[in-house]
Amino acid sequence: MMTTENYSQTIQLSRSAGQVFKVLTDEIPFWWTTLFEGSANSKNDRFTVRFGDQIYKTIRVEELQKNEKVVWYVEDSLIAVPGLKNQKEWVGTMIVWNIIEMENRTVLQLEHIGLQPEIECYAICIDGWRQFVKSLELSVETGKGRPF
């Protein structure tokens, strides 16, 4: 039986869990994309992130555990890039951020449930996640991310 791995990434940050939580709820435009509409502060809030005219994601906040966990459900998405046949692959996926506060650092674990190696956008999507998680890390550590 084949097991399917969801994309995941873990980073260590020198800031508190509270600061990391704030970046995932109040400061998304500072690290992901400045083309941000909506709110991500409360359960059932909705927000849309855009990356130019051809790519967007509309996300509902599924779960918030202050300073511990943020879960987003992708309600709508379009990745209109040349050569990509299934441009809606993010729809129905879940993005889970686990925040683990240690003694002198915070561990942030990202798991994108449904973003798996067999889906068409996997390579470009994980490149995107790597880029924006690095931007998130810069935003947390230095106050200045590199959003789209």
Tell me the pTM.
Answer: 0.96
Does the pLDDT at position 117 exceed 70?
A: yes
Residue range 7-142 in CATH 3.30.530.20: yes
Domain boundaries, the chain: 7-142
Q: What is the pLDDT of residue 45?
A: 98
pLDDT tens profile 15-69: 999 999 999 999 999 999 999 999 999 999 999 999 999 999 999 999 999 999 9
Query: What DSSP letter does each residue of 34-66 carry, written as one string?
Result: S-EEE--SSTT-EEEEESSSSEEEEEEEEEEET
Specify the DSSP element, H or E, that contains 100.
strand 94-101
Q: What is the pLDDT of residue 1?
A: 53
